[in-house]
Amino acid sequence: MDHSERVKLARSCWKNTGQNRPAFAIEPKEGEESVWDYPRPPVIVEDNREVIVRSGQVIIAHTTRSLRICETASPPTFYLPPSDVDQKYLSRTASRTFCEWKGQATYWSLAIPEQLEKANIGWSYERPSVEFEPIQGFFSFYPGRIDCFVDGHAVLPQAGNFYGGWITPEIVGPFKGEPGTFGW
C-alpha cells in the first residue's frame, strides 16, 4: 500500500464529521463551543487571545497570533508562530509521527540551562500537507508537559499520551483520548 492509499484509508475510518452532534455530547451553553460541532477534515481558525507557554518563570512562547486547528471530537490545538517562540529553549528530537491531515510532525524537547530536559513537549510541521501550509513552522505544545495559558486561564491537557488538544473554559466535550474513543 503506497502513501496516498494509507492516507485515504486513515481518513475513511472516522465515524464523526461534525455534521451531527452525538447524543452523548455535552450541549454547549452560550459562549461555549462543542468539539462535536467542529468539522472533519479539520479547519484552521485564527485566534487573537493571549497565549503564553512557560516552564516555571521562563517564557517559551508569547503571542496573540495563534492558529487553532479544530477537529471533530478533539479540543483545539493551538499553533504559535515561530517568531513568537523563544527557540533557544527548544531542541529537535528524533521523534516523528504522521497525521493523515497535516503530514509528518517533528518533535521538540525543552532544554533550559540549569533544568532537567523535558522530552517531546511540543511539535511542528516543517512540510505540512497543502491544506495545512498556514501552520508550516508553527509550534504547538502539550499542555500536560509544559504550562500553557490562554487569556490567563491554565490550559487542561487532552487525555491520553498522543493528542495535544488544549481544553480551555469555553470548550465542551466529551473529548477523544480516553480509552475506547479512538474511532471518534
| Whole-number average pLDDT of the chain | 92
Any idea what DSSP says for residue 181? -
Pick the CATH number of 14-172 from 2.40.110.10, 2.170.150.40, 3.30.450.20, 2.60.40.420: 2.170.150.40
Q: Model-level pTM greater than 0.85? A: yes
Are 125 and 100 in contact by the 8 Å Cβ rule? The answer is no
Query: Cα(184)–Cα(181) distance, rounded to whole angstroms?
Result: 5
Residue whose C-alpha is closest to residue 131's, from 55, 43, 50 = 43
Which pLDDT does position 15 carry in this prediction? 73
- Per-residue pLDDT reduced to its tens digit, 86-133: 999 999 999 999 998 999 999 999 998 877 789 999 999 999 999 999
Three-state SS across 33-54? EEHHHCCCCCEEEEECCCEEEE
- Per-residue pLDDT reduced to its tens digit, 40-57: 999 999 999 999 999 999
pLDDT bracket for residue 17 (50, 70, 90): confident
Residue 31: CB atoms within 10 A of its CB come to: 7
Q: Which residues contact 159 (CB under 8 A, 6 or more apart)?
A: 175, 177, 178
pLDDT bracket for residue 3 (50, 70, 90): low
Determine if residue 24 is left, alpha or beta; phi over 0 gives left, psi from -120 to 50 gives alpha, anything else beta: alpha
The residue ranges of every structural domain in the chain are 14-172
